[in-house]
């Protein structure tokens, strides 16, 4: 009788363990553009041979930021000083402050007080910036100053023509190429809920950000280097945005894109995200947010 009870107990434990294993939780899954699951190393191999890696994040997603740092560290092991890092989160007129901080000319407290840092700087952005600083890597501030993006939102690209030559140093060269038929920009008009003529400058404000980020990426590119750039995933999804502008400047460059999406389950990539990028990081929708 005792033997039967022990066998029954063992069977129950085995079934319980099997049930837990079947329900094991995954924090993320990387897919290729066709929806095939791949390992981090496969994504790294693609990044090593790319000229430009455009890493699209969900701004409040911790998995995005963790994998950004892991990919940067792995790329640095391969590329050394030929790795260049850049971010949407720093505006172009902050480049001098970044350079002064990296050189040791100013203290971190001065940098932090003047650089217009995002509210998730400590948790999500600082680890990347400090990695670049500690390894003496070039770090570029690529975004248009927000005051000029707001100007485009009010007045269109024509508003930029009133800027001084000094101010124009922080903006993509004028006139700015713009294709209003790109699906991403058209979708932005639909998001407003207003007729196209009522707020046609809204996607232009997005485009001037894309154009400016592409401009400063290109300005800092040298053959043999790999630039890894971090930005909201919508700036490079579907090979639009920054990708479109870089391709117009130099279609010969090898660009690799990464997108981040949220799904209820991450074992399979949802159909709507296929071909959104070269690699898609699927994260559970219940993942903790950083803000």
pLDDT, residue 200, reads 87
DSSP codes of every residue in 162-181: GS-TTGGGGSPPSSPP--TT
pLDDT tens digits along 231-281: 999 999 999 999 999 999 999 999 999 999 999 999 999 999 999 999 999
The answer as to whether 21 is a domain residue is no
**Which residues, 6+ apart, have CB-to-CB distance to 146 below 8 Å?**
91
CA distance readout (Å), 35 to 32, 257, 269, 278, 279: 5, 14, 6, 10, 9
The answer as to whether 83 is a domain residue is yes
Tokens of 57: 């994040």
Q: Whole-angstrom Cα distance, residue 71 to residue 55?
A: 10
The answer as to whether 74 is a domain residue is yes
Q: Where is pLDDT greater, at 14 or 178?
A: 178
The answer as to whether 291 is a domain residue is no
Helix axes 40-48, 62-79, angle to 10 degrees: 50
Count CA within 13 A, CB hemisphere, residue 44. 16
Is residue 193 over pLDDT 70?
A: no
The answer as to whether 274 is a domain residue is yes
The answer as to whether 5 is a domain residue is no
pLDDT, residue 248, reads 95
pLDDT, residue 156, reads 96
pLDDT tens digits along 112-134: 999 999 999 999 999 999 999 99
Q: How many domains does the chain have?
A: 1
Tell me the CATH number at 107: 3.40.50.11550
Beta strand spans in the chain (E): 29-32, 37-38, 52-57, 83-91, 138-143, 226-232, 255-263, 279-284
C-beta of residue 42 within 8 angstroms of C-beta of residue 29: no
Long-range pairs for 278-281 at CB < 8 Å and ≥24 separation? 278/32, 278/33, 278/46, 279/30, 279/31, 279/32, 279/33, 279/38, 279/43, 279/46, 280/30, 280/31, 280/32, 280/33, 281/28, 281/29, 281/30, 281/31, 281/63, 281/64, 281/67
The answer as to whether 185 is a domain residue is yes
- Residue 183: domain span: 29-284
* Dmax (CA) of the chain: 92
The answer as to whether 7 is a domain residue is no
Long-range pairs for 267-271 at CB < 8 Å and ≥24 separation? 267/26, 267/29, 268/35, 269/29, 269/31, 269/35, 271/35
pLDDT tens digits along 36-68: 999 999 999 999 999 999 999 999 999 999 999
């Amino acid at each position: 009788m005792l033997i039967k009870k022990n066998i029954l107990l063992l069977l129950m434990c085995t079934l319980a363990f099997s049930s837990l294993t079947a329900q094991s939780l995954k924090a993320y899954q990387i897919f290729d553009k066709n929806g095939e699951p791949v390992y981090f190393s496969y994504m790294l191999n693609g990044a090593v041979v790319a000229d430009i890696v455009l890493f699209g994040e969900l701004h409040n997603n911790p998995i995005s930021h963790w994998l950004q740092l892991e990919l940067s560290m792995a790329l640095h092991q391969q590329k050394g000083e030929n790795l260049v890092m850049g971010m949407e989160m720093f505006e172009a007129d902050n480049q001098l402050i970044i350079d002064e901080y990296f050189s040791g000319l100013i203290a971190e407290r001065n940098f932090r007080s003047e650089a217009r840092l995002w509210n998730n700087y400590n948790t999500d952005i600082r680890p990347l910036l400090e990695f670049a600083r500690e390894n003496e890597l070039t770090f570029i501030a690529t975004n248009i100053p927000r005051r000029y993006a707001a100007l485009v939102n009010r007045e269109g690209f024509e508003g930029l023509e009133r800027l001084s030559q000094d101010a124009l140093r922080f903006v993509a060269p004028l006139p700015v190429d713009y294709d209003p038929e790109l699906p991403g920009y058209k979708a932005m008009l639909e998001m407003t809920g207003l007729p196209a003529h009522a707020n046609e400058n809204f996607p232009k404000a997005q485009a001037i950000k894309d154009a400016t980020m592409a401009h400063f990426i290109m300005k800092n590119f040298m053959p043999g280097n790999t630039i890894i750039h971090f930005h909201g995933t919508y700036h490079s999804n579907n090979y639009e945005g920054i990708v479109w502008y870089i391709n117009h400047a130099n279609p010969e460059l090898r660009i690799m894109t990464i997108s981040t999406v949220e799904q209820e389950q991450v074992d399979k990539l949802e159909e709507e995200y296929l071909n959104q990028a070269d690699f898609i990081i699927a994260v559970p929708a219940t993942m903790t947010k950083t803000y």
